[in-house]
Structure 1
């Protein structure tokens, strides 16, 4: 067994297919098959369940994948640190919920870029649950997500606290929206913190049934709310900074539901690169 075997193993898991993994790793399928077999013999377990169309992890395979990601991550970091000669260089992959991407990232790129011009920042937007999993599985170095987070493997830094507001079309107030036969909401998919707050507010009002229009962008939510399709919950700063000229009304959610904290999360169980240390130090 060697470290490249683990890279091949991860490629097979990622692609779910030996042929695709071989293409991605610039080798032949027979080599991938042989190296995976060697891994299984080394650990004396079956790591993958084979089928004609795809492969999947066994329980033992899931455990090896967890450690493989740590090993390969540490090796990559070691190479970067050894060749950096004390400089803060490299690449950081950062996840963001979409409002953080709009409100915080542009200024963040400017500030970090001025201090550390040799670090490439790559941002990915997504739902909090997906971003958390990406950090845990080494797909992201860190992520901005909504608090609270109670995961032992993750460290967190408080970033900011947002005030949340109900948002309706300009010609609609909350009483009118709730008086409709079918209350309609415009939200992100399950896992969105703003959607969870809106649903909690509706439940507190005794409204357990409502029609959801699910969007995948902030612009889409604002457009549909403005058109009167439904109501939503958004950060007040987002509405005032980016959508003040749109035909929207905002209303209070009430105490207990109207604030949401954002934290920066990163892995606790591995050493941080110089670039990640510098990024975290901003907070």
Structure 2
């Protein structure tokens, strides 16, 4: 077995086809078939079920795909990290919620560039569930997500607590007047957004289940719609005070149990921390002490 065998195995699992895997890996189907057969003989287990429509992983194949991703991740880290120099270097992929990236992203980029200039950052913004999935599947080295989170495979570092508030048009006098509107209109991010979930929970606590939702995909879009009087939303107070304090909007406090959001940084426990990731964690503002030595 070699790394190319694992690449072929992963391609078959991804495409569900020996033919498509061969095309993607620039080889012939007979080679893919032979290499997979050799892997199955080496592991003493059937890795795929074959039928006329699709090739699918067996339970044993699912185990191997997990180890394959883990091995490739560690091997890539080794190639990036090993060298004659003691300088911290390498590339790391970090996931953010858009609001967290807006607030903390530039600060982290500047500090990392100052302290660890040979570390390259690759940022990705997405919803919490997608970020967690990408960390679990080795597509991201780490991600900033909301707590609480109970996933045994992930290490957690507390980064910050922040206040989440209701954001309404400037002419809104109080929440009772706001909620009395018919139809009640909200401005929200896509399904899976933590702020949308808090808004839903708050409205349900006030006995409101049916209301109109306008979905936006950017912070600026949400604020623009609120300022125009189209509806209201829930957002981090720091975002509003830092970037939108001069806009025609008003904030109201949420109940304590909904108004506090804790952000954590998560990464896999079973993967050794690379020097580059240790460097990033050391400047992230978390409460866990990290030794950056190579």
Using structure 2 for the length normalisation, give the TM-score. Answer: 0.87
From the superposition, tell whether residues 54 and 231 of structure 1 become closer, same or farther in structure 2 (CA, over 3 Å): farther
Structure 1 unmatched runs, 5+: none
Size of the aligned set, in residue pairs, is 283
Quick one: distance in 2 between partners of 1:120 and 1:53?
42
| 1:189/1:57 CA distance change after superposition, 3 Å | farther
RMSD (Å) for aligned C-alpha atoms: 2.2
Q: Partner residue of 1:196?
A: 197
CA-CA distance at 1:94 after TM superposition: 0.2
Contact preservation (8 Å) 2:80, 2:91: no
Farther off after superposition, 212-221 or 231-240: 212-221
SS at match of 2:246: coil
User: Which has the higher mean CA deviation after the structures are superposed, 259-268 or 78-87?
Assistant: 78-87
Q: Which residue of 1 aligns with 2:270?
A: 269
For the 8 Å contact 1:172–1:228, the answer to whether it is kept is no
1:18 CA displacement: 4.3
Asked if structure 1 preserves the Cα contact closer than 8 Å seen for 2:81 and 2:90, the reply is no
The one-character-per-residue Cα deviations of 1:48-97 (angstroms, maximum 9, x if unpaired) are 35567764433332221111111112222223333354331110000000
Q: Report the Cα offset of residue 112 of structure 1.
A: 0.5
Residue matched to 1:100: 100
Contact 1:184–1:229 (Cα < 8 Å) also in 2: yes
Residues 166 and 253 in structure 1, CA contact (< 8 A), matched pair in contact too? yes
Hey, what's the Cα distance between the residues in 2 that align with 1:83 and 1:230? 55
Distance 1:226 1:78, change over 3 A: same
209-218 vs 194-203, which deviates more? Answer: 209-218
Q: CA deviation at 1:43?
A: 3.2
CA spacing shift, 1:224–1:29, aligned 2, 3 Å: farther
Would the aligned equivalents of 1:7 and 1:72 in 2 still touch at CA under 8 Å?
Answer: no
Checking the alignment, whether the CA contact within 8 Å between 1:119 and 1:275 is kept in structure 2 is yes
SS at match of 2:80: helix
**Unaligned regions of 5+ residues in structure 2, if any?**
287-294
Question: Structure 1 residue 269: deviation in Å?
Answer: 1.1
1:115 paired to 2:123: no
Give the 3 Å change call, closer, same or farther, for CA 213–3 of structure 1 in structure 2: same
- CA distance in 2: counterparts of 1:32 and 1:226, whole angstroms: 58
| Distance across 1 between alignment mates of 2:84 and 2:218 | 38
Give TM-score, length-normalised by structure 1: 0.90
Q: Does the C-alpha gap of structure 1 residues 5 and 261 become closer, same or farther in structure 2, counting only changes over 3 Å?
A: same
For residue 257 of structure 1, give the secondary structure of its aligned residue in structure 2: helix
The answer (yes or no) to whether the contact 2:96–2:125 under 8 Å persists in 1 is: yes
